Amino acid sequence: MRDLNLDLTLNGLVAGVDEVGRGPLVGEVVAAAVILDPARPIDGLTDSKKLSEKRRGVLSEIICRDALCWAIGVATPDEIDELNILHASMLAMQRAVESLSVKPILVQVDGNRCPELSTSVEAIVKGDAKVPAIGAASIIAKVYRDQQMYDLDLQFPQYGFARHKGYPTAEHLKLLQRYGVLPHYRKSFGPVKRLLEEQG
């Protein structure tokens, strides 16, 4: 009996999906969906966190050039505050899949929860390290979100976004306390919410 997953992969109809940016206090949660081209394999696809920033950048360019198709989906800080971070992550994944120019037969998502899709979907724990298309999605999502933080850093250099990428490091919390809450912050997240309450 033939392996259905293998057939789907050979036909280039499996999309890998991953998101980045659940933990930061600021900015969008970003998801990517990627359908790799079996005729153009890409070496080194894995969990983006295991790669250096330079290597992620190189691989992101290769993925965007050689994949059959790819798409980015985001959920805004306002949507995160309204829905909560889990549901906003699912929304970002939905948007990424719906934006693909080729409709996949199967969507494989990193983690243990699946977004609601019109396509068959399965969750794979540590999928970004096991499934090349999910690894590819994690890489381009990470590079895309990091670039957002670099852009924000140019606008507001005093917050140090280029260094901490919006995550609640000791440095970031100190700078947030000093300079206050920008519109880009997630107001439902603990440190931001507490600061807003203190300020009345």
Of the candidates 42, 46, 35, the residue with the CA atom closest to the CA atom of residue 12: 35
Phi, psi (deg, nearest 5) at residue 183: -60, -20
pLDDT tens, residue by residue, 1-37: 334 444 444 454 899 999 999 999 999 999 999 999 9
Cα(167)–Cα(161) distance, integer angstroms? 9
State how beta strands 29-35 and 106-110 pair.
unpaired
Average pLDDT, whole number, for the chain?
93
Cα 67 to Cα 18, 114, 148, distances in angstroms: 15, 23, 23
Residue 142 buriedness (CB in 10 A; 0-12 / 13-18 / 19+): buried
Cα(197)–Cα(35) distance, integer angstroms? 44
Asked if residues 110 and 124 have their Cβ atoms less than 8 Å apart, the reply is yes
The DSSP line for 107-128 is EEEESS-----SSEEEEETTHH
pLDDT score at 124: 97
Q: Among all chains, which residue has been given the structure tokens 């790669």?
A: 51
pLDDT tens, residue by residue, 110-158: 999 999 999 999 999 999 999 999 999 999 999 999 999 999 999 999 9
Give the mean model confidence (pLDDT) for residues 65-89: 98
What are the structural domain ranges in the chain? 4-198
pTM for this model (two decimals):
0.92
What's the topology of domain 4-198? Answer: Nucleotidyltransferase; domain 5 (3.30.420)
* Residue 61's pLDDT band (cuts 50, 70, 90): very high
